[in-house]
Amino acid sequence: MNKSGMSSEEWSSLKDVFIGMIPRYDSINSRITFGLDERWRRMIAKESIGKDAVLEVGSGPGTLAVKLMSKKVYCLDPIPEMHKAAVKKIPEQDLERYEFISGSAEFIPLTDDFTDVVFCAFSFRDFFDKPKGLKEIHRVLKPGGKIVILDIAKHDGFYGHLIYFYINSVASGFSGGRKEMKCLSETYKAFAPPKYYFDP
């Protein structure tokens, strides 16, 4: 793994880890964010108010998707089991607002200028190829559209090492998913500070 992405073998292993962590997905995110993840999701979900269509890339088990308030919500994820978990969270009468798409950030099966907002909640650091994923996201965004990325920011120096230690050693003991937390700590370790990806 490196700042820009990961090898195909690493990506395949990561997908296997995510399949195994689906039952604990929400509790793991809660552990690594000190319980703030739900508050953060509610905050960014406000960006969907009044929008015709939004896309969540790496939508996982639908934890953010159920909070999005646009007329249409497109959920993109490469793992079919994640979509199955998401459907269970969405009220039946609301399901028609959602469309579940199998795919990854690097190959988004949507047309140019398609969506008002693209959300990535705890998924950007797991992109197979981050530069290519960002290019695809910009392609499907309408002019004036917005990308909203929610994740644990990577810090240089002491604080970066401290967060890595917490995810790898402390939170894993609480969550009951040591293998999953080890994998997540490695993706965090390879992650770069935001300015690396978004500085002009």
Domain spans in the chain, listed from the N-terminal domain onward: 8-155
Q: Report the candidate in 95, 78, 85 with the shortest Cα–Cα distance to residue 15.
A: 78
pTM of the predicted protein model: 0.85
pLDDT for residue 155: 53
Looking at per-residue pLDDT, the higher value among 32 and 178 belongs to: 32
pLDDT in tens, 143-191: 999 999 998 765 555 444 444 444 555 445 544 556 666 666 677 666 6
102 within 8 A of 110, measured Cβ to Cβ: no
pLDDT in tens, 124-148: 988 999 999 999 999 999 999 999 9
Q: Report the candidate in 119, 112, 99, 108 with the shortest Cα–Cα distance to residue 55.
A: 119
Q: Is the pLDDT assigned to residue 57 strictly greater than 50?
A: yes
CA distances from 92 to 63, 87, 96, 148 (A): 16, 9, 8, 27
Which ranges of the chain does DSSP label H, i.e. alpha helix? Answer: 8-21, 25-32, 37-45, 80-89, 130-140, 157-165, 171-175, 178-190, 194-198
Query: Who's near 127: CB < 8 A, 6+ residues apart?
Result: 5, 58, 104, 105, 106, 133
pLDDT for residue 117: 98
Class of CATH domain 8-155? alpha beta
